[in-house]
Amino acid sequence: MSGRVYRVKEMVYTIQGEGSNTGTVVVLCRFEGCNLSCSYCDTDFEGTDGPGGGVFPDAGSLVWRALKTWKGPASSRTVLCTGGEPLLQLDRALLETFHREGFRVLLETNGTMRPPPGVDFLCVSPKNGAMPVVEKGDELKVPFRIDEFPDLERYLELDFTYFYLQPVWGSDYGKNLERVVEYCLAHPRWRLSLQTQRFTGLP
């Protein structure tokens, strides 16, 4: 027993829209709250009032909701833990409970906190040019804005399988996309990540 309450903004059955798991069907579990306040943030992570959201008194009740939300075969169960910053809440007890019920656990974190051991796919998305405290994982995904070009070379020293650049959505999207494309073409270790949920309309 972890003895803690979990607060979830939304929990929905959907398709991962970005990064190397684009197209993967998941239960998206968006935890409430974040420890950063990025100027370009457009994610609603406050409160527990979204679809499937709520306050869960323990890991078992949260995972039970995830089981009810999953519509596919048991052998494909996948949960995407995101936020906000999911590591404010995702702890060892919750991770183990997901695993006990056969879920593959994907995690998207801003890289300011260390995850519990055993996450199945770790995506670190450092913000505002910061270096993540986690130096190893599956995917490093850097949001890119034309007016704030981070030092991307130093990220390549970290031990990640995939390196993604993702143009930030907003009024400068066209310019952000153009610069990312240009950068990836010149630096092929970086891949282009597009937020496909922008045009599928999925969460």
Phi, psi of 68 (to 5 degrees): -70, -30
9 near ligand SF4 (CB under 6 A): no
Contact between 69 and 119 (Cβ < 8 Å)? no
30 near ligand SF4 (CB under 6 A): no
Query: Residue for token digits 């994907």?
Result: 106
Which listed range, 34-42, 91-99, 147-155, 169-177, lies at the site for ligand SF4 (CB under 6 A)?
A: 34-42
Smallest separation (angstroms) from ligand SF4 to the CB of 109:
9
What length is written for the chain? Answer: 203
45 near ligand SF4 (CB under 6 A): yes
Contact between 27 and 72 (Cβ < 8 Å)? no
138 DSSP assignment: E
Q: How far apart are CA 113 and CA 95, in angstroms?
A: 16
Contact between 150 and 132 (Cβ < 8 Å)? no
Give me the 87-116 binding string for ligand SF4, x by CB under 6 A, dash otherwise. Answer: -----------------------x------
Smallest separation (angstroms) from ligand SF4 to the CB of 129:
13
Query: Residue for token digits 């409160």?
Result: 47
127 near ligand SF4 (CB under 6 A): yes
CB under 8 Å to 76, separation ≥6 — which residues? 25
Tell me whether residue 33 or residue 60 sits nearer to ligand SF4 (CB atom): 33
Q: Which two tokens stand for residue 123?
A: 């995506």
Tell me whether residue 37 or residue 75 sits nearer to ligand SF4 (CB atom): 37
Give me the 158-197 binding string for ligand SF4, x by CB under 6 A, dash otherwise. Answer: ----------------------------------------
Q: Which residues bind ligand SF4 (CB under 6 A)?
A: 34, 36-38, 41, 43, 45, 83-85, 110, 127
